[in-house]
Structure 1
Amino acid sequence: MTDTAPAAAPRLTDLVRSAPLSFLGTVTRVGGTSLAALPAEARNERTAVVRVDQVLHAPAAFRQLGGSEVTVQLATDAELLKVGDTAAFFTRGMVYGEGLGVAEVGRLPADAVRQHVSLAATTADELPFSSVQREIRDQDLAAHAAEADAVVVATVVGLEDLGLAEYSEHDPHWWRATLDVSLVESGGAAPGPTTVLYPASGDIRWRAVPKPTPGQLGLWLLHATGGELAARAPYRLLHPEDYQPAQRLAVLRERR
């Protein structure tokens, strides 16, 4: 399906990257807040209570903020606001308890995002900036693939615990996966079987790294193995993005 979303301006893309929460809002109060957790010295002309008119992008827990009021600590380099002003606010969390307090990362005029709001109402997108977030994910995939030593489409045909000695709680607990490579998109890999190391540990340092499963087909972004581990397998998985559904190959090719 073709994405008909309007192209995101670089400024908008940068703001969505840097701010976990954005919304269209109207200022209802300046210089005060009901948030007890906000220090008294912070309650000044750079503190505004804003009614959330529409959430633009947000983590799942904050997608139902529409109609509620949040306290916004305005950025030090941003223009001051007055009651009745509307804008698109880009924020990160600051205080969460009896209410929500956020710190402003950036701001755009409300008219600058109206096209995204209008289009979202006619598509299956849950939020107006869903298309911007897809664009960011696609950009990140292309950038990460460019840094990989091999990019292949392959199926997992074998898994093996290397049984290496472990001496700390952060040890990766290396396993070796055998991949049957059906397509080489880039790099020095060859069609047929190749082996890849991956950390099976659930430690926070390794938790997000892909853990191959038997029969798993996908797009694999592989990194050359160095040091003593190079004798165990030519490649390894190191990043959360190193596994992608095979269909993402089409996106990657569009970006090259």
Structure 2
Amino acid sequence: MTTDGRSEGPMRTWSVILLAVALSLSGSVGAAQMSRAALVKRSDIILIGTVTQVGAVAVPEVPASARTVVVRVDQVLQKPLAVALTRGDSVTVETLRAGSLKPGTQATFYTTGWIFGRGVAVREVGHEPGRSPVVLEDQQEAVARARREMHDADLKAHIETAAMVVAGRVEEVRPAELPAAPARPKRISEHDPNWQEAIIQVEDGIKGAQAGERVVVRFPGSPDVAWVGTPRFAVGQEGTFLLHTDSTSGSPRATWGGKSVTAYTALHKLDVLSRQDATRVRDLIRKP
């Protein structure tokens, strides 16, 4: 009885029900605290799978604990190319919290790679429940959409740091002429970038430029491993370019048409996009 004489039976019953609901929802570890886009961004292996064992492992290199579970892979949504993982494989998952998963539970697991030996072991970033083929299809699209949103967010942030964004065409490529620092003569090493300069005719000044301008963009011509993956330019190349004031080559100025002009770089993979991406870039600039 309560202090005012009313029965506390119904109140206690509802408390028990609410507690049970809260505990069941807490099984979606990580998902409640992070958006799906955040889960995708923090994960390199994403899969839909079914828990087959709790407190066990499928990889001998990993000691079993209250937080380890064995998951049968039902569908791989994302993984590095170098990782061998396919439907039907058993994966060891180190969960965020002991007891959060039970045998028979199907979920989408957002994880990071942990151990790759005689099997695959991963660490959980979060998981979302999923039990039917419809949910599986929805989850595949949801992960793909989250990946697009994540990429758009990264691109928008990169656009904001660019000094100039243009759509245009490479008219000329030439070796860069960089003055040696007065106190130190120029030194050549195996990692020397062998700076080149691309002269780009601006056809569409999206940010910080006008159509008809020419801009000088420096890029490494060296095939050295230190510059693998850095965008390169060729005469006739068209695209949408995110340009940053040159703070890498050691000389922020270049020469064009007999005049000293600002030199730019485009060293990140997001700095060089297709010509068709100009519309998408404009939309992201307008997006709050």
Q: Match of 1:213?
A: 234
Structure 1 residue 50 displacement after superposition: 0.2
- Given that residues 57 and 63 in structure 1 are in contact (C-alpha distance below 8 angstroms), is that contact kept between their aligned partners in structure 2? no
- What is the root-mean-square deviation in Å for CA atoms of aligned residues? 2.8
Q: Match of 1:51?
A: 72
Structure 1 residue 61 displacement after superposition: 4.9
TM alignment of 1:93-108, pairs within 5 A: 93-108=113-128
Where structure 1 has 5 or more consecutive residues not aligned to the other structure, the ranges are 1-8, 121-126
Larger displacement relative to structure 2 (237-246 or 214-223): 237-246
The amino acid of 1:229's aligned partner reads: S
Larger displacement relative to structure 2 (104-113 or 175-184): 104-113
Are residue 245 (structure 1) and residue 253 (structure 2) matched? Answer: no
- Given that residues 182 and 191 in structure 1 are in contact (C-alpha distance below 8 angstroms), is that contact kept between their aligned partners in structure 2? yes
| TM-score under structure 1 length normalisation | 0.82
Q: Match of 1:136?
A: 150
In structure 1, C-alpha distance between the alignment counterparts of 2:165 and 2:136, rounded to whole Å: 34
Of 91, 109, 113, 2:129 maps to 109
Equivalenced residue count is: 238
Structure 1 residue 200 displacement after superposition: 2.1
Larger displacement relative to structure 2 (159-168 or 209-218): 159-168
The amino acid of 1:239's aligned partner reads: H
- Given that residues 196 and 234 in structure 1 are in contact (C-alpha distance below 8 angstroms), is that contact kept between their aligned partners in structure 2? yes
Structure 1 residue 154 displacement after superposition: 1.1
Q: Match of 2:188?
A: 167
- Local SS of the residue matching 1:229: coil
Q: Match of 2:252?
A: 230
TM alignment of 1:10-159, pairs within 5 A: 11-38=35-62, 40=63, 43-61=64-82, 65-75=86-96, 77=97, 80-110=100-130, 117-118=137-138, 129-159=143-173
Structure 1 residue 19 displacement after superposition: 0.2
In structure 1, C-alpha distance between the alignment counterparts of 2:250 and 2:60, rounded to whole Å: 56
Structure 1 residue 44 displacement after superposition: 0.8
**In percent, how many aligned pairs have the same letter?**
34
In structure 2, C-alpha distance between the alignment counterparts of 1:143 and 1:113, rounded to whole Å: 36
| TM-score under structure 2 length normalisation | 0.73
- Local SS of the residue matching 2:188: coil
Relative to structure 1, the CA distance from residue 47 to residue 187 in structure 2 (aligned partners, 3 Å threshold; closer, same or farther) is same
- Given that residues 245 and 264 in structure 2 are in contact (C-alpha distance below 8 angstroms), is that contact kept between their aligned partners in structure 1? yes
- Local SS of the residue matching 2:252: helix
In structure 2, C-alpha distance between the alignment counterparts of 1:79 and 1:181, rounded to whole Å: 59
- Given that residues 204 and 210 in structure 2 are in contact (C-alpha distance below 8 angstroms), is that contact kept between their aligned partners in structure 1? no
The amino acid of 1:253's aligned partner reads: R
In structure 1, C-alpha distance between the alignment counterparts of 2:217 and 2:164, rounded to whole Å: 11
The amino acid of 1:16's aligned partner reads: V
In structure 2, C-alpha distance between the alignment counterparts of 1:190 and 1:229, rounded to whole Å: 26
